[in-house]
Amino acid sequence: MHNVLVTPEEVKKIGKLANLKLQENEVNLFADQFTKTIEIINQLNEIDTSSLAATYQVNGLTNVTRADSVDLSRVLSQELALREAKKTHNGFFVVERLIDSDIE
């Protein structure tokens, strides 16, 4: 089994990527929890399941589906959909950028 240690620096990087503001005590707590989770996953990966059949679901239920059809009475025209938009360009909504490019 591989000993994997998730460092506080890695937790900070994950927090930054997820746009989370983490307190120092949370960073250390999450580093410990991530490490324990990976250790459990590694233990599960060591179990030999080669003789077991794949199980996709266990309750015997099936999906209830319907035909995919367009209800034209509920479709907005492009003009109506964009009418209240603050900013548009070539028939599309324009929104502000949400992701920072300075993430390492």
Read off φ and ψ for residue 34, nearest 5 degrees. Answer: -60, -40
Question: What Å distances lie between residue 7 and 4, 15, 27, 50, CA to CA?
Answer: 9, 12, 9, 33
Say yes or no to pLDDT of 40 above 70. yes
pTM here is 0.50
Q: What is the pLDDT of residue 65?
A: 92
Q: What is the pLDDT of residue 54?
A: 86
On the CB side of 27, CA atoms within 13 Å amount to 15
Delimit the domains of the chain by residue range. 1-48
Where does 1-48 sit in CATH, by number? 1.10.20.60
pLDDT digits over 67-101, tens only?
A: 899 999 999 999 999 999 999 999 999 998 877 66
Question: What Å distances lie between residue 5 and 8, 31, 80, CA to CA?
Answer: 10, 8, 54
Say yes or no to pLDDT of 21 above 60. yes
Q: What is the pLDDT of residue 1?
A: 52
